[in-house]
Structure 1
Amino acid sequence: MSEASSSGETQKAQVMSEPDHTSPTSVETVESVVRRQMAQSLGGRRGMVEAGVPGLVFTLLWLTTKDLRLALVAAGGVAVAALVVRLVQRSTIQYVVNAIVGIGIGWVFVRLAASTGGSEADQALAFFLPGIIWSGVYTVVMVVSCLVGWPFIGFMVGSVTGDPTAWHHDKQIVSLCTRLTWLFLAPGAVGVLLQGPVYLLGHAGTIDTATAVGIIGVLRLGLGWPLRIAAWGTMVWLLARNATPIEQQPDRSGPVTD
């Protein structure tokens, strides 16, 4: 056997015995894929804080000062400050803009209440109405999506992958997204069931309007945020398990023949 032949055999044996670093060394899990895509869709912790804190500031200030103008200005100021920081950092402003739009819609409802002669308490109650309506709409949409087997979280995943429906081919991803969707909608659903009747009673004058605003504010702070934290914590726990390998699609190319 020649030296060249021997060297070739040795190299061949080394190639067969050493791992191929050009191929995946581990199987990616469903949880890791969904966790990554949800983080992009929701903006991570920072995006969720930027979306929620302005409303929290409004509620706190209204409950403690009963000064509607101060509560609105402070909530808007917090959102604008977050926007400025994003612009300086040249990062995405999507999540801050969502908060600003929410405050803007609330302000429109406040002005509508004022234009009909509503008191400051009536106007504060009106500020909460868009949030209650929005929570009710997305709760219904997400419940239906789970019941028909196309959970809402799956579309959030698809929105950042470039293919909005490819995730539905993997039953494991569908199952995980269904559980995540139920958790995601739970705080909003509870909020609507509790805050909706209070709003209606306050708007109709059955209970004092200022009392209705106070009850809704307490529900948002004392129940809404703990529920959100609990739901998000459970979602993080589900996504941190990394327990479900992604199903590999069968190779339909068939054997190659000469």
Structure 2
Amino acid sequence: MTESARPDDGDRVPLEPPSAAESVSAALGSAARRAGLDPSKHSSTGAAVWAAMGGWRGILESVLPSLAFVVLFTVTIDPETRQGNLPLSLGVSVGLALVFTIARLLAKSPPSAAIGGLVATAAAALLTLFTGRGQDNFVFGFFTNGAYGAAFLVSVLVSWPLIGLIAGYLLGEGTSWRADKRRRRVYTWLSLGWAALFFARLVVQLPLYFAGDVTALGTLKIIMGLPLFAPMVAVTWLAVRALSPRRES
């Protein structure tokens, strides 16, 4: 291109950087899509929920390490000390998480979920061995639930509900949903529902932690995990799909 053919600087329209809300929306939406929530791939609610849970592999990775710890700890409880065999219980739990991680690596599937689970399981095991208290195996879960619950609640308080940010990215709408009062109200209630789920886990499980009831604590952790997560995903998915504008195929 010759010098005369070059456009004048005044003709150039500078690209505006994405807003903070759009950046957060893109990050959350990408995470949701990696977790299996992709409207372009799943037409049914059941398929979306199943994908979000990771299928049978995801369910086993989520449940088995905790279940193994609770069962082994319970059956090895000493009547005098009221403590189970921590090395055995924790060793099997960490071992299962390691097996799941290796299986993902060998299958060349995304190992992020299994690696995250392995790191969390190993860190909790080290803390538990250090303190010698079985209930400390669940401490990191309390912080995780508290952080997620606080994030959803704060997003509602500042009028940027996280469900809206995620849905906006997945549906390719950015933050335009905020102009629709009905959608903004539904996304707000959905975000409050998620915050309530995370805080409910703390309300129910923390008293058992302080009471040192490892068996009841571990059992409720499993019950309040996927069995509550799946219905919340289903309700959220149905609401978002019902509110999404109809598009030409």
**TM-score, normalisation: structure 1:** 0.60
User: Could you list the runs of 5+ residues in structure 1 that have no partner in the other structure?
Assistant: 1-33, 203-208, 249-258
Distance 1:168 1:99 in 2: 32
Could you say what secondary structure the match of 1:91 adopts?
coil
**Deviation at 1:159?**
8.1
Q: 1:82 aligns with which of 73, 97, 100?
A: 100
Distance 1:40 1:101 in 2: 19
After superposition, the C-alpha distances for 1:222-251 in whole angstroms (9 at most, x for unaligned) are x424xx424422431442463223399xxx
Could you say what secondary structure the match of 1:170 adopts?
helix
Distance 2:144 2:154 in 1: 16
**Deviation at 1:95?**
0.5
Corresponding residue for 2:118?
100
Distance 2:207 2:244 in 1: 45
Aligned residues: 192
Change in CA separation of 1:83 and 1:193 when aligned onto 2, cut-off 3 Å: same
Corresponding residue for 1:224?
224
Change in CA separation of 1:174 and 1:36 when aligned onto 2, cut-off 3 Å: farther
Corresponding residue for 1:213?
214
Q: 2:140 aligns with which of 125, 130, 154?
A: 130
Change in CA separation of 1:176 and 1:142 when aligned onto 2, cut-off 3 Å: same
Q: Which amino acid aligns with 1:57?
A: A
Distance 2:167 2:93 in 1: 30
Distance 2:166 2:96 in 1: 27
Change in CA separation of 1:188 and 1:60 when aligned onto 2, cut-off 3 Å: farther
Q: Which amino acid aligns with 1:62?
A: F
Q: Which amino acid aligns with 1:243?
A: A
TM alignment of 1:33-182, pairs within 5 A: 38-41=32-35, 44-46=52-54, 48-49=58-59, 50-65=61-76, 66-113=84-131, 118=132, 122=133, 124-154=134-164, 167-171=174-178, 174-182=184-192
Distance 2:136 2:205 in 1: 12
**Deviation at 1:160?**
7.8
CA RMSD of aligned residues (A): 3.4
Change in CA separation of 1:147 and 1:109 when aligned onto 2, cut-off 3 Å: same
Corresponding residue for 2:6?
none
- Off by >6 Å, runs of 4+ in structure 1: 34-37, 158-161
Change in CA separation of 1:145 and 1:96 when aligned onto 2, cut-off 3 Å: same
Corresponding residue for 2:195?
185
**Deviation at 1:103?**
0.7
Distance 2:170 2:94 in 1: 29
